[in-house]
Amino acid sequence: MPNYKQIHNAEDLRRAAARYLPKPVFDFIDGGAEDEVALRNNRAVFERVRFRPRTMADVSSRSLATTLLGQPSAAPIAIAPMGGLSNFAPDAELAMARACAAAGIPYCLSTAAGISIEDLRAAVPDARLWYQLYVFKDDRVNEGIVRRAQEAGYEALMVTTDTHVGPKRERDRRNGFTLTLERTPRNIARVLARPRWVWDVLIRAGLPSMPNLAPYAPEVVDSLSATKYFIENRRYAFDYDHLRATRKLWKGKLLVKGVLRPDEAVQIMECGGDGVVLSNHGGRNLESSAAPLEMLPEVVDAVGRKMHVLIDSGFRRGTDVVKALALGAEGVLMGRPAAFAAAAGGQAGVAHLIGLMKDEIDRTLGFLGCTAIDQIERDHVLIDHAFPGRNAPGL
Ligand code: FNR
């Protein structure tokens, strides 16, 4: 267990996770596509947005309470869907969902999760759960999954559309970590250098399969067969017709994740989508993709308040979250920080991360002269000339 007195931010949790995880596993989570320009830019853009605080205010009492997708949330944050997590920490999805439920924020389960839709719901009956859908060639799989998520009371369906092509992640290729970790002498040494992970994941828990796919694909029996099925059977296409069809199936909030363009957001809205998650998959897919934060003002100007606009990719600080809120986002999803927190400390690690983020958001709110989330506005930020959308109406 990490010494939480020495864990002051998301980067400290990342370092703690690096001490727990074998290097190829750490790199799989941490890395991005090709030269990692998109990955680095996701962080760099935050330095181009700075605050214009109001100081003549009484901020002695503040609240982070807000609404996400029309329902109350204790803070404007949630945890992003991540597949394969139970490879990295035992019961990582459960740890995340429990920590989110305790903190009063939503958790989004991935199609590629190591726990089933129903088992997660049974473990956290009162949690706000969202479900992320990767679509498969066989519509029976898509329809079956959507129906199960609905029956289990998941409130939102998030279809990811930024992964229609297999990404080129070179850290994974160099580490021999593609379908599974190659058993080279170097990898064996790297794994053995992390005995606690070997005990927790390899020996005690075992590498997880993808239980949400198993009912439709009897060949999915373990981690390797699940990954193979996932790659070979996904439908690497999702267009507006698919979206309209999904709208007919799904009664709850319907979001598309991976959108960056205002014209797409508008069309998604016209096809019945309730919201978008601006995302470049954390810089893991399209190299040199614009950072979602850069595209946020344009998207918000295009769809106004008619759509839920969430965002992720690169958020590590409370100040990052407040910058996105100032530019018009409703809320922020956290990816890697939650994965590292779960690896470093399980549910307690994720709870610590959420606590740190809440504390930083609260502090920023106070410094800006605000006492509530809905008081944060564009006027609170100053953005550099190079920032796209700077001249968009309202800026
Ligand atoms: C992801 N992400 C992701 N997205 C998705 O829609 N379905 C998935 O199964 C996964 N799996 C996944 C695994 C891992 C290890 C990571 C790090 C990410 C992307 C994720 O939802 C989110 O968009 C990014 O992680 C956000 O960027 P940050 O916060 O990691 O910088």
User: Ligand 1 center to residue 82 CA distance, Å?
Assistant: 5
What does pTM read for this prediction? 0.96
Q: What is the mean pLDDT of residues 181-194?
A: 96
- How far apart are the C-alpha atoms of 20 and 94, rounded to whole Å? 19
For residue 212 the two structure tokens come to: 């949400």
**Has residue 88 got a pLDDT over 70?**
yes
**What is the per-residue pLDDT across 45-59, written as a single tens digit (0 to 9) for each?**
999 999 999 999 999
**Has residue 394 got a pLDDT over 70?**
no
Given a contact cutoff of 8 angstroms between Cβ atoms, the answer to whether 46 and 10 are in contact is no
390: pLDDT confidence band, cut at 50, 70 and 90? low
Please give the single-letter amino acid code of residue 293: L
Predicted local distance difference test score (pLDDT) of residue 274: 98
> Is residue 252 exposed (0-12), middle (13-18) or buried (19+ Cβ within 10 Å)?
middle
**Has residue 179 got a pLDDT over 90?**
no
For residue 384 the two structure tokens come to: 């550099």
The gap from C-alpha 220 to its chain's centroid, in whole angstroms, comes to 25
**What is the per-residue pLDDT across 19-30, written as a single tens digit (0 to 9) for each?**
999 999 999 999
For residue 340 the two structure tokens come to: 């590292």
**What is the per-residue pLDDT across 92-140, written as a single tens digit (0 to 9) for each?**
999 999 999 999 999 999 999 999 999 999 999 999 999 999 999 999 9
The gap from C-alpha 222 to its chain's centroid, in whole angstroms, comes to 24
Half-sphere exposure of 19 (CA within 13 A, CB side): 11
Given a contact cutoff of 8 angstroms between Cβ atoms, the answer to whether 129 and 121 are in contact is yes
Q: Can you say whether residue 358 is alpha, beta or left, with left for phi > 0 and alpha for psi between -120 and 50 degrees?
A: alpha
User: Ligand 1 center to residue 80 CA distance, Å?
Assistant: 6
Closest by CA position to 292, among listed 267, 264, 253:
264
**Has residue 299 got a pLDDT over 80?**
yes
Of 13, 41, 82, 117, best ligand 1 pocket probe by most atoms within 8 Å of the beta carbon: 82
Residue minimizing CA distance to atom 3 of ligand 1: 82
DSSP summary character for residue 80: P
- How far apart are the C-alpha atoms of 278 and 100, rounded to whole Å? 21
**What is the per-residue pLDDT across 275-289, written as a single tens digit (0 to 9) for each?**
999 999 999 999 999
* Residues near ligand 1 (Cβ within 6 A): 29, 42, 80-83, 110, 112, 132, 160, 257, 279, 281-282, 312-315, 334-336, 339
Q: Annotated active-site positions, please?
A: 281
Predicted local distance difference test score (pLDDT) of residue 393: 43
Of 284, 285, 357, best ligand 1 pocket probe by most atoms within 8 Å of the beta carbon: 284
Given a contact cutoff of 8 angstroms between Cβ atoms, the answer to whether 361 and 315 are in contact is no
